[in-house]
Structure 1
Amino acid sequence: MVKPGLAIHGGKPVREQYLPYGKQSIDDEDIQTVINVLKGDFITTGPTINQFEEKVAAYVGAKYAVAFSSGTAALHGACFAAGISDGDEVITTPMTFVASANSILYQGGVPVFSDIDPHTYNIDPESIKQKITSKTKAIIPVHFTGQPVELDEILKIAQDYNLIIIEDAAHALGATYKDRKIGSIGDMTMFSFHPVKHITTGEGGIITTNNEAYYQKLLQFRTHGITRDSNKLLKNHGSWYYEMQTLGYNYRITDFQAALGLSQLQKLDSFISKRKQYVAMYQEELKELPEIIVPKQLNYVNSSWHLYIIRLNLSLLKVDRREIFQALQKENIGVNVHYIPVHLQPYYQKLNYQKGICPKTEKLYEEIITLPLFSSMSKKDVNDVIQAVKK
C-alpha cells in the first residue's frame, strides 16, 4: 500500500529521458514516399488521395472511403451526410475527445450523452435505449482505446428505431468485432491519422462506408459543397463549369499527406502487433498489483490498442490520482488522462449539461491514467514504465 508522502518524490528517476504517451513511427521509406509526391505535379488534390482512399477501404472491407483534413472534419462530414440538422438528437459517449460531440453541434444537432459500461469503458447499449426520444437521429459509438463497442446490440437498437450509426473509430483502425473489421459494419466509420494514432498523415481522417449516397455527399462536403460532375449539374455552361450546391467546407487532405498514409498503411499490421506485444507485457506485470485494475479484454473482439489505461483502486491508496500522476511524470514517464468527460467541459456546462448525468463515466475519470503505448517503443521502454508504476 502506498502511504502519504511516499509517492516517489526526489531520488534518481527510472528514466533519464522523457517517454511520451504516444508518438508517430516514421522511417526513411515514409519520408522518401512524401518527397516523391512533392517532386511531382500534384501536392494538394491529386491521384495519391484516391489511391489512399482505395487502400483504406480495401483494408477494412468497405466499398468507399473519403479522406479529410482531420478526424474531426471527417466526423463533421459524416454528420452532414447523415442529415443531422437543427434539433436532431445524437447519442454518444462522454468518455471521448470533444470532437465526437462537437461534430454534432456543428450541424445544429444536440449531443445526448449515454453512460458507459464500467468494465469495458465503452458506451452501454442499455443506457443508449434509455436516451432515445422522438428527436433521436443517430448514434455515435466510440471504440474507446481501440476496443470495439457491443456493435450487434447497438445495430439492433438502430434498426428498431431507424437510427444512423456513425462509428468513431479514431482509436480502432485494425480492430475487429466478431471477426469483422471495424470500418465495414456501421453506416459510416471515422478513422483518425493524428500522429499518436496507429498510422499518421500528420493531421488527417477518413470516413468509410458501404452507402453510395453517403459517399457522394462526403465528397461534395469536403470541397465547399462544389461539384463538377456533369450528371449532377443543374446547368452546364461548358467543361470549366462547376456548381456549389450545398454549404460545404475546405476539408481536403493533401496528396503528400496521402502519400505518407499509403506508406504507413503497409506497416499497420506490424505496428498493431508491436502494440499488442507491449500490452501483454503490461498486463502480465501489472495484473497482480492490488492497487491497479488493468483493462478487461473481451474474447470476441480484437482491440487495436490505441491506448493502455490503468484504473486505480483508490480504496487501497492513501494518495489521490494527481499525486500518482505527478510522481510518474517525475520518473520521466509521459502519462496522460483520456478523457475529461465531455459534458464536464466549461463550454458544455454553459449548454446546461449537468454533472451527474453519467455517473459511471465521471467515476472512471477520477481513477484512470494512460500509460505510454506506441509502436516505436522498445521493450526497455515498456519495462521502465512497469518499474515506475510499481515504484
Structure 2
Amino acid sequence: MIPIAKPYLTEEEAQAAYDTILTGWITQGPKVQEFEEKFAAHTGAKYAVAVSNCTTALHLSMIVAGIGQGDEVICPSMSYIATANAIKYVGAIPVFAEVQPNTYNLDPVDVERRITNRTKAILVVHQIGMPADIDAFKKICKKHSLKLIEDAACAAGSAYKGKKIGSHSELVCFSFHPRKVISTGDGGMVTTNREDYYNRLKLLRQHGMSVNDRVRHEANKVIFEDHVEVGYNYRMTDIQASVGIKQLEKLDWIVEERRKIATTYNKAFKNIKSIRLPLEEDGYFSNYQSYSIYLKNSSSIARNTLMQTLLDKGVTSRRGIMTTHRESAYKDYKAHTKLPISEDLQDNSILLPLYIPMSEEQINYVVESFLEIVEPKVFNT
C-alpha cells in the first residue's frame, strides 16, 4: 500500500532525540531556543516562538493581535477546522469567504466584500503549501485597519515573491505535524518581526510566567517567578526541538525533492482534459505539502469511485480539503453560508500520495494507476 504521506525521519533525528533525553533537560530548554533561532533565520523573520502545535500558535496569535469577544475574523471555510476553531477560542466570529478555484486560497475580492465594522482581522491560509496573495491581503488590511495573520501550517519552505513564508507579516503560524513537510511528531511555531508580540507569545505559552525555567536554572542567585497574566501550557519539548533542528537542516532539500515528484505528476497528467492540476503562478513557490487534482464535470469517473478504485490497486488518496461550515461542529453556519466554489472543490478534488522518500517505482505506479482509471483509452493505446 502506497500511503498518502509519510514523515521523513532518519537516524539523525533519532540520535538527536536520544542525546537530548540523556541531558536531563527535556522541555522548554536550550534546544527549543536553538530551534527558534534557526527557524527565524531560515524564514527571514526576526523572531520565532515554538509552541505545542499550530492550533495553539493560532490561538496565541489571536490573543496578541487583540482579537476578542464579538470581533469578526475573515477566513476560508476550505481549511482544516483548526483555522476557524482558533478564532472561536477567543470568542470571536469566523466569517467564511470564498477561495479561488485554481489555487484553493482565499479570494481577496470576496474577502473585501465581507468586511464590516466588526471585522478585526483576516486569517489567510497558504493551502496545501501554495502561498496566498499576501500583498493583496496586506493592502486590504492597511485600507481597512485590520490585522493580518497567516495560517502557514502547510507552508514551511514555501516562498512568495522571493521571500520565504514567515517573514512577510506580523504573525505567521506553522505546523510540524507528521503530515507536514518537516515534523517534530507534533509542534508549532509563530514567527514575527514585532518584539512586543515575541515577548508576549513567550509569556503566554508558559502560564504567563515572568521568568522561564532556563533563566532560573542558569542564575547564580535565587529567583522567584511571578505569573503576570493567565497563560497556557503550550510549550514545546526539547526532544521535539532537537528533532526539528535536524529536520530544518534538510528542509530545502526535502522541498526540492517534493517538487520533483509534483513535476512528474504535472507532466504525466497535463494532457488530461477532464482534470485541473495545481497552479503555481510566477512569484509563488510551493513546497507541495499536498498534490491536489480537481475533477471537472467532464470527468468519466466520480471522485469517490476513483478513490476506492485507487485504494483497490494499493494507492491511498484523500478527499479534497474540508469545508468547515459543513462540519457538524459548525452546523449553525451551514444554512446561511453559500460558498459554491469551496464546496465544489472539496467534493471533486483528490489528493495523491507525495512524500519523501518516494521511490521512482512508487511514483510511476501512482501515475499508471491514475491514468488507467481516468483515461483508460489513452492508457491502453
Q: Give the TM interval when normalised to the shorter protein.
A: over 0.9
Aligned counterparts of 1:190 and 1:354: Cα–Cα separation in 2: 30
Contact 1:61 1:181 in 2 (8 A): yes
Contact 1:140 1:166 in 2 (8 A): yes
Contact 1:343 1:354 in 2 (8 A): no
- 1:377 is aligned to 358
- 1:34 is aligned to 17
- 1:234 is aligned to none
1:344 aligns with 2:344: no
> How many angstroms does 1:376 deviate by?
1.4
2:310 to 317, 322, 328: 328
Gap regions ≥5 residues in structure 2: 213-220, 373-381
Aligned counterparts of 2:263 and 2:82: Cα–Cα separation in 1: 30
- 1:262 is aligned to 245
Aligned counterparts of 2:72 and 2:334: Cα–Cα separation in 1: 14
Aligned counterparts of 1:187 and 1:132: Cα–Cα separation in 2: 20
Encode CA deviations 1:132-187: one digit per residue, 9 max, x unaligned: 11111111100011111111110000111111111011111111111111100011
- 1:163 is aligned to 146
Aligned counterparts of 1:388 and 1:199: Cα–Cα separation in 2: 28
- 1:277 is aligned to 260
Encode CA deviations 1:60-88: one digit per residue, 9 max, x unaligned: 00010000111111111111111111001
1:310 aligns with 2:301: no
1:187 to 170, 188, 197: 170
Q: Which amino acid aligns with 1:84?
A: I
Q: Secondary structure in 2 aligned to 1:315?
A: coil
Q: How does 1:80-159 map to 2 (within 5 A)?
A: 80-159=63-142
Q: Which amino acid aligns with 1:334?
A: T
Q: Which amino acid aligns with 1:69?
A: S
Q: Secondary structure in 2 aligned to 1:67?
A: strand
Taking only aligned residues, the RMSD between alpha carbons, in angstroms, comes to 1.3
Contact 2:156 2:181 in 1 (8 A): yes
> How many angstroms does 1:356 deviate by?
4.7
User: TM (normalized to structure 1)?
Assistant: 0.91
Q: Secondary structure in 1 aligned to 2:333?
A: coil
Aligned counterparts of 1:45 and 1:254: Cα–Cα separation in 2: 5
Encode CA deviations 1:102-141: one digit per residue, 9 max, x unaligned: 0000111100111011121110000110111111111110
- 1:354 is aligned to 335
1:388 aligns with 2:365: no
Aligned counterparts of 2:96 and 2:333: Cα–Cα separation in 1: 12
Q: Size of the alignment, in residue pairs?
A: 364
Contact 1:96 1:338 in 2 (8 A): no
Contact 2:44 2:164 in 1 (8 A): yes
Contact 2:320 2:345 in 1 (8 A): no
Q: Which amino acid aligns with 2:275?
A: I
> How many angstroms does 1:353 deviate by?
4.0
> How many angstroms does 1:352 deviate by?
3.4
User: Structure 1 residues 28 and 60 mapped into 2: Cα distance closer, same or farther (>3 Å)?
Assistant: same
Contact 2:258 2:355 in 1 (8 A): yes
Q: Which amino acid aligns with 2:176?
A: F
Aligned counterparts of 2:174 and 2:362: Cα–Cα separation in 1: 27
Contact 1:344 1:355 in 2 (8 A): no
User: TM (normalized to structure 2)?
Assistant: 0.93
- 1:296 is aligned to 279
1:226 aligns with 2:234: no
Q: Which amino acid aligns with 2:43?
A: V
- 2:376 is aligned to none
Aligned counterparts of 1:136 and 1:375: Cα–Cα separation in 2: 41
> How many angstroms does 1:338 deviate by?
3.6
Contact 2:257 2:356 in 1 (8 A): yes
Contact 1:344 1:354 in 2 (8 A): no
Aligned counterparts of 2:42 and 2:371: Cα–Cα separation in 1: 39
Encode CA deviations 1:244-283: one digit per residue, 9 max, x unaligned: 2222111101001000000111111110011000000000
